[in-house]
Amino acid sequence: MRNSRAKEISMEVTVGAFMFMVLLVLAVFTIVLSTQNIFKEYYEFEVIFQEVMGIRPGDNVLVRGVEVGKVKGLHLEEDGVHVITSLESNIRLRKDYKIEILPSSVLGGKILVVYEGEDAEYLPENKPVYGAKPVDLIDEASHVIAEIRTALDEGGILENLEVTMKQFKEVTGNLSQGKGTLGKLLTDDAVYNDIKGISKNLKTVSQKLVGGEGTLAKLLNDGEVYDDLKNVMDNLSTVSQRVADGKGTLARLLAEDDTLYINLVDASEAIKDITTTINKGEGTLGKLAKDDELYVEVTKLLSEVRATVDDFRETAPITTFTSIFFGAF
């Protein structure tokens, strides 16, 4: 009797313990699957959409790419679909906020994405929050395909493509046959040889430059050239400084004072007058320049002077002797 009672108690304890453990696991399962921490505070956040594209309770809510909660429920009202979310942290929207429903993957599913905005001013607490019209990937893809089809059918893209391909084929044919400059570049070895020669020459030049041969190499390697150039630059600097200071003729010519310029203008005008007078054959110089008679006279005079000098030269010893001889008396 006692054994029977003990067995019965043992059976009851076993069944009770098993059921307790499984019920405990069930409770944990329930909490885990509800993905809500019962000890954590959640914030309710409502958004009004005109269209929700099939978002469902349990879909994720993302703020700046971080999952912060889930869609708790949604109900249809006159002003749109009210989507109620449960968030782990309270969010404050700014004036330029944006809330939209996006596909979570290509295979389907939706997420509610919240951009808080960057405006300095926050949205008032009690103001209703509106979401943007969601983007339907399939609808967008259909639209794009329709546009491509229209462009292909009506825009003559296929014809253009056909012509282009024909031309491309022709070009590649010419290239393979070595026609044209590009074809020769691809097929003719002479170009390669030329390039090889050029590179060889460049190599020689560079070697000479490195070796310090020639003017260019000296320019690159010799410090004296640099010193000379520096001196030249110093001199130019001195000159420009003198010009700037108004020293010397050039500076005066460049100076703001117009006196020298006016003088030069006057002088050039006077010279112009003189040359005009000369050209007209007026005055002594004009006549010298223009009158042939004076030239003839002068030539004649010079001939006579020469004759006179010659005569004097011939008679000079006799005259000298005579004067000496008669001088003694």
Partner 1 sequence: MIGEAFLSVSSIFQKRSRHEVMYQLYITGIKSLGVITVVALFTGMILALQTGLELRRFGQEVNIGTAVTVVMLREMGPFMTGLIIAASVGSAIAAQMGTMTVSEEIAALEVMSINPVRFLVMPRLIALMVMMPILTVYTNILGALGGAIVGSTQLGVAFTAYFDNATLYATNKDLYVGLCKAVLFGVIITTVACHQGFSAKQGAVGVGQATRKTVIISFLTILTVGYMVTRLFYQ
Interacting residue ranges for partner 1, rule: CB under 8 A: 8, 11-12, 14-15, 18-19, 22-23, 25-26, 29-30, 32-35, 58
Listed in sequence order, the DSSP H helices in the chain are 2-33, 137-154, 157-177, 180-187, 189-211, 214-221, 223-245, 248-254, 259-280, 283-290, 292-327
The distance of closest approach from Cβ of residue 27 to partner 1 in the complex, given in angstroms and rounded to an integer, is 10
The distance of closest approach from Cβ of residue 103 to partner 1 in the complex, given in angstroms and rounded to an integer, is 16
**Distance set, CA 78 to CA 50, 53, 81 (Å):** 10, 17, 8
Nearer to partner 1 by Cβ, of 25 and 152: the residue is 25
Closest by CA position to 166, among listed 174, 182, 154:
174
Rounded to whole angstroms, the Cα distance separating 227 from 220 reads: 12
Closest by CA position to 276, among listed 292, 290, 296, 262:
290
Nearer to partner 1 by Cβ, of 72 and 131: the residue is 72
Nearer to partner 1 by Cβ, of 31 and 288: the residue is 31
DSSP label at 134? P
Nearer to partner 1 by Cβ, of 80 and 103: the residue is 103
Provide Rg for the chain, Cα atoms.
56
Q: Which amino acid makes up residue 240? A: S
The distance of closest approach from Cβ of residue 108 to partner 1 in the complex, given in angstroms and rounded to an integer, is 12
Nearer to partner 1 by Cβ, of 29 and 295: the residue is 29
The distance of closest approach from Cβ of residue 11 to partner 1 in the complex, given in angstroms and rounded to an integer, is 5
The distance of closest approach from Cβ of residue 129 to partner 1 in the complex, given in angstroms and rounded to an integer, is 27
The distance of closest approach from Cβ of residue 141 to partner 1 in the complex, given in angstroms and rounded to an integer, is 21
Taking residue 68's Cβ as centre, other Cβ atoms within 10 Å add up to: 19
Residue 48 has φ and ψ, to the nearest 5°, of -105, 125
132 contacts 81 by C-beta, under 8 angstroms: no
Nearer to partner 1 by Cβ, of 20 and 192: the residue is 20
Nearer to partner 1 by Cβ, of 19 and 195: the residue is 19
Taking residue 65's Cβ as centre, other Cβ atoms within 10 Å add up to: 6
The distance of closest approach from Cβ of residue 34 to partner 1 in the complex, given in angstroms and rounded to an integer, is 5
